[in-house]
Structure 1
Amino acid sequence: MRWLTAIWRAGIALCIAALVGYGVYDLHAREDSPIPREWNALKRLYISDPVTPLTGYKLSAATRDPQICQAVLQDGGVQFRPMPDLEASPQCHIRGRVSLTGVGAAWIAPVETRCAIALRMAMWEQHALQSAATTHLGTDLTRIEHFSSYNCRAIRTGAGISNRMSTHATADAIDISGFQFADGRRITLKDNWSGPADAANFLKDARDSACRWFETTLGPDYNALHADHFHLQSRGWGTCR
């Protein structure tokens, strides 16, 4: 009869676990849930929410769904305009296409890109760039300069043109070249990466923080082809150089 007792106890344990699991789910799912939004795995991302261990999961979920992504941008006050998808060829396209002109307090020259890139830019500005500007420069960031996002081309390497397409071909990347600030200063990677300490420290902090918000970050420390910009991707394997 011991096996019957063991089965009975296991059944009771499973029932208790199921009840606890349902209770936890219900606590998260309720509209009036007492769990803070940033700690609730069933609530979508909000740009202004404090960063928690769930933020990366929520960001990934939002970037996979253009409708959710655009809703997050809208609620976050991002300056953007939804656009129809661009399908130039099987290798070159922009899906989840937006025209981005500003994130937070920083303006951006209009750039057509994927919503995923726009959202990662917004998170970077909100949770890293502004604080880096205050820490290293004692001022606010007002503009982010870029070269482009979408470009139907192959990867460029130190040995020449690759036979693989660049992530720019699908607007899964953006090249950031510099920054402007409320006190009138302009800092570029070309002129300031190895320049005065305050500017150089800001740029290195910007690079390090980009590694947290983008899946691939390449800059001057990677190779000469990136001496004047940060190459930031919304997909990759966590490369940070």
Structure 2
Amino acid sequence: MQISVVFVSAVLLVHCLLPRYAYASPPLPQEKPIQELGQTRFIEGIDVPATKPAGDTKLFSTEPVEGGGKSLPTETSELASCDIQGAVFDRLAPLQGEVGDEGCGIAVPVNLTGLRSESFEVAFPTNATLSCGFVKTLTEWVIQDVVPLAQAEFGQPVSEFFTGPGYQCRRRNNQPDGKLSEHALGKAIDITAFRLSDGTEISVETDWASKTEKGQFLSSIHQAACKRFMTVLGPDADPNHKSHFHLDIGCHGKSCTYVICQ
């Protein structure tokens, strides 16, 4: 009997001496921070403030195609004749996506082969297929910005642009779903390299950010492009653009005034 009393007393004493958390509900495990899924350095229409681009960017509207239920992006009447001073191209028949790709197409497509003036001539060896409206903006950038900057940096003009094909009926970054790429409307081009008149080559992938004349030239024309195009992406934008400049005149935001420059 004496042993039982001593045991009970010891238990009560320990109970009283223990801190409250020793017998309360066990603490919950520490919350772990939620990882940011799909984080990317490039978010369309968000990474830069709304900026009104230079020049008229309302180049396209949407109208039904005669004789069918599909629609094509249709350029405004002032571009229908596609008279672009300095551009060398062949007019093409309207392009339209196949079944399942109804969103693709160009109402006024051209096959751009080069640019020409009294003092220089620039060739596009790939003969990029583009919309007339996009070629208008591209021509202004090359003649008014790229050629003078090359002359100032190297003492000679650019003679060749190495580009992608321009028009491609696909979605952005070649993903199976999502929005159509501006390439699918002929409103974009990818430029990988340039060649000067003496044969010197300037590579976006190799020479970007280098502390050389080539690196300075690429930086300068990139900045100039941001004043003319709606989207300008280079190697600093994301891994998908490490080897080229992507230029397009696509609409961003409800007002179509967001300029993405990376």
Cα-to-partner distance string for 1:31-57 (whole Å, 9 max, x where unaligned): xxxxxxxxxxxxxxxxxxxxxxxx714
Cα distance in 2 for residues equivalent to 1:70 and 1:161: 32
Q: Tell whether 2:108 aligns with 1:96.
A: yes
Q: Distance in 2 between matches of 1:71 and 1:61?
A: 17
Q: 1:142 to 1:117 in 2, by over 3 A?
A: same
The runs of 5 or more residues in structure 2 that have no matched partner are 1-53, 62-74, 252-257
Alignment check: 8 A CA contact 2:128 2:164 kept = no
Counterparts of residues 37-76 of structure 1 (less than 5 Å): 56-57=55-56, 60=57, 65=75, 68-69=78-79, 71=81, 73-74=83-84, 76=85
2:243 matched residue in structure 1: 228
**Which of 152, 171, 182 is matched with 1:154 structurally?**
171
Offset, 1:69: 2.8
1:239 alignment partner in structure 2? 260
Find the counterpart in structure 1 of residue 131 from structure 2: 114
Cα pair 1:215 1:234 within 8 Å, conserved: yes
Aligned residues between the structures: 184
**Alpha-carbon distance in 2 for matches of 1:86, 1:67:** 18
Question: Normalising by structure 2, what TM-score?
Answer: 0.64
> Looking at both structures, which has the greater relative contact order when contacts are Cα pairs under 8 Å and sequence separation is at least 6?
2
Larger radius of gyration: 2
1:185–1:73: structure 2 CA closer, same or farther, 3 Å change rule? farther
- Matches for 1:135-150 after TM superposition, within 5 Å: 135-150=152-167
Question: 1:82 is matched with which residue?
Answer: 91
Deviation at 1:85, TM superposition (A): 0.8
2:33 corresponds to: none
Equivalent residue for 2:231?
Answer: 216
CA distance in 2, matches of 1:205, 1:70: 32
Structure 1 unaligned regions, length at least 5: 1-54
SS of structure 2 residue aligned to 1:217: strand
C-alpha deviation, 1:166, in angstroms:
1.3
Structure 1 length as normaliser, TM-score? 0.69
Q: 1:82 to 1:183 in 2, by over 3 A?
A: same
Q: For residues 190-220 of structure 1, what are the alpha-carbon distances to aligned partners after superposition, in whole Å with 9 as ceiling and x for unaligned?
A: 1111335100010111111111121111111
Q: Distance in 1 between matches of 2:214 and 2:60?
A: 31
Aligned to 1:185: 200
Structure-2 change in CA distance of 1:72 and 1:150 (3 Å): closer
| Distance in 2 of aligned mates of 1:71 and 1:103 | 18
Q: For 1:82 and 1:166, how far apart are their aligned partners in 2?
A: 22
Please say if residues 86 and 97 of structure 1, whose CA atoms lie closer than 8 Å, have aligned partners that are also in contact: yes
Question: SS at 1:221's partner residue?
Answer: coil
- What CA distance in whole angstroms lies between the structure 2 residues aligned with 1:202 and 1:63? 32
**Distance of 2:229 and 2:136 partners within structure 1:** 10
Matched residue, 1:165: 180
Q: Post-superposition, which runs of at least 4 consecutive aligned residues in structure 1 deviate over 3 A?
A: 60-67, 70-74
Contact 1:62 1:68 in 2 (8 A): no
SS at match of 2:261: coil
Give the whole-Å Cα distance in 1 for the aligned partners of 2:93 and 2:76: 11
Task: Answer 1 or 2: which has greater helix percent.
Answer: 1
Identity value in percent: 25
Cα RMSD between the aligned structures?
Answer: 2.5
